[in-house]
Amino acid sequence: MKFFVDTAEIKEISELSEMNLVDGVTTNPSLIAKSGNDIKETIKNICQIVPGPVSAEVTATDINGMIEEGKILHSLAPNVVVKIPLTWEGLEACNKFTELKIPTNVTLCFSAPQALLAAKAGATYVSPFIGRLDDTGINGVDLIGEIRAIYDNYDDLNTMILAASIRNINHVTQVAMIGADVATIPPKILKELVKHPLTDIGLSNFLDDWASTGQKIR
């Protein structure tokens, strides 16, 4: 499973990228707003740090506007993936980008039929939002399972499942077990993946025992 980071914060992306933990990046209008920076500059900067796919989202909601904005975003760097909302107009735009061979990430997916439509439109990625489904009392991870099962039934559905709206480390484990192609993870949660209390206790015990020997390795 690929790890994308779900952020528009350059500092966080650089830090994780040095650890080789970043296969790609996803942004959205809310994350750009939170960063306080210009979208084009931000996307260009991210693309200089990360050679993998970097999703940049259109904000127009009409088909012509989405196509125009998507072309502008894709012109910023060859690794820009145009992120489009899962609306009827978004699917039309996705079809157009498929024809133009511009990669797409169809976002705000909350159901299996929506994911099926995104794949039929030739989306490179579909982004089901797990956490936001959980917020409504529906199990978001189940949706990843449904989409995986559907896509695996048909050789001509090649859209990659990009599990989004990941809120905890359990989400990461579960989507990896199901076989999501990508998990886009907020930097804070990515760093939490390493944590386990027994690791800390075990290390502390080892160091105490080592100190009692008086030995040194270097």
Least Cα distance to 105 among 132, 72, 131, 70 occurs for 70
* Other residues' Cβ atoms within 10 Å of the Cβ of residue 143: 23
83 is catalytic: yes
Decide: is 132 part of the binding site for ligand G3P (CB under 6 A): yes
Judged by beta carbon, residue 33 or residue 207, the one nearer ligand G3P is 33
Alpha-carbon distances of 82 from 26, 85, 101, 127, rounded to whole Å? 10, 10, 11, 12
Q: Which of 11, 40, 71, 83 is catalytic?
A: 83
**d(C-alpha 182, C-alpha 44), whole Å:** 22
Site stretch for ligand G3P (CB under 6 A), options 112-120, 125-133, 145-153, 195-203? 125-133
- As measured in angstroms, the least distance from the Cβ of 184 to ligand G3P is 6
> Shortest gap between Cβ of 133 and ligand G3P (angstroms)?
9
Q: Which of 5, 6, 106, 124 binds ligand G3P (CB under 6 A)?
A: 6
CA–CA separation, 185 and 93 (whole Å) = 26
Least CB distance to ligand G3P at residue 145 (A): 18
Q: Give the number of other CB atoms < 10 A from CB of residue 90.
A: 24
Nearest to 160 by CA among 26, 42, 17, 35: 26
Residue 131 interacts with ligand G3P (CB under 6 A): yes or no? yes
Q: Write out the binding residues for ligand G3P, residues 25-64 only, by CB under 6 A.
A: 26, 28
Residue numbers of the site for ligand G3P (CB under 6 A)? 6, 26, 28, 129, 131-132, 164-165, 167, 184
